[in-house]
Amino acid sequence: MFDGLFAIAAWTAIPLFILGFWPLVKGADWLVDGGSALAARFNIPTLVIGLTIVAFGTSMPELVVNMFAAVGGNTDIAVGNIVGSNIFNILGILGVSALVKPIHVKSSTTWIEIPLVLAAALAVAVLANDLILGGSSIGQSMLSRGDGIILLLFFAIFLGYTVSMAITGDFDESLEIRAWGKGKSIFFVLAGLVLLVIGGKIIVDCAVQVAQSLGVTERVIGLTIVSIGTSLPELATSVVAARKGNSDIALGNIVGSNIFNIFFILGLTAVISPIPLNPASNLDILVNIGTTVLLMLFVFFPKARTISRPEGAIFMGCYVAFVAWLIVAPMMGMVPV
């Protein structure tokens, strides 16, 4: 339906690429608002709405972009979007949030959820390189459909954990649900889906053209601009939560997003279309692991279960260094493209 729609000049692709994030983010927002209002009209409990529509809806930008990228064979964008989002979530969003106000971490996040983020990062590294780890010299690193199923099974376990936490009362039920009629709710659900499809298609198509016009790889575009754009809902939620002193929401939003991105979105992407891995992506996966380890160190040391302003500044500095490395390293022949 959209094939050839964005075969346009590079100077047009760049502003279109940037503008494409508006329908992507707004579409997710409308989908969540409309879906939540419609569910409430059918007397579905707030708890269920929060665990399904809201949780899945806020990750729709990453999901839609990955679907288009995978189907179109732009696997560097698909992997870069997820790995880059997870790196940006910790270094960029938590960094900014901690600078706004120090983040206090609750016990369950310290001992269960953050280790799960590390487990997710390690799972991608192992599954993508299972042939190499098994001693085979045939084939390339990739996430197969079988690997995708394994990631989805991990997601099912995480979802079960989330439900059990909610049942025991460790869940924020203070969701803002619109008091809309059924007709208006359905309209916003459908309009949100349309905007998501349009935004996702614009971003993937234009990202390829922008990469070509700027002389950078799709991997770098996916790791930076695409991943930052699809993480805008998490950025807004976490910064506002930090400013209001809601540390649990600020950190929980990021931790949940990182687990969701790998186990569900990357898993579903691999099931739909196996993902061959650019050799350079293994370096990005290692950066993601290192970033998560740094988060764990900050949570435990020097002051237990707190991410301070200086630590937030370190996060931000690391992210700037990472982006600079992505740009400079290929020029110096240090990183395969």
pLDDT in tens, 239-275: 887 887 777 677 877 888 899 999 999 999 999 989 9
Q: What is the DSSP letter of 33?
A: H
Phi-psi region of 73 (alpha: psi -120 to 50; beta: other; left: phi over 0): left
Output the pTM of the full model.
0.86
- Residue-wise DSSP of 62-115: HHHHHHHHHHTT-HHHHHHHHHHHHHIIIIIIIHHHHHHSPEE--HHIIIIIHH
Give ∠ CA 271-126-56 in degrees, rounded to 5.
45
Domain spans of the chain, in order of start:
10-331
Element (H, E) at 316: helix 309-331
Q: Tokens 């707030």 identify what position?
A: 46
Give me the pLDDT at residue 170, please.
Answer: 58
Which tens digits make up the pLDDT trace of 177-218? 788 888 998 999 999 989 998 999 889 888 888 887 778 888
**SS3 (DSSP) at 280:** helix
Is the CATH number 1.10.620.20 carried by domain 10-331? no
Give me the pLDDT at residue 96, please.
Answer: 93
Which pairing describes strands 306-307 and 103-104: parallel, antiparallel, or unpaired?
antiparallel
Q: Whole-angstrom Cα distance, residue 66 to residue 197?
A: 11
Q: How many Cβ atoms sit within 10 Å of the Cβ of residue 286? A: 13
Low pLDDT (below 50) residues in the chain: 1-8
Give me the pLDDT at residue 11, please.
Answer: 60
CB 14 within 8 A of CB 166: no
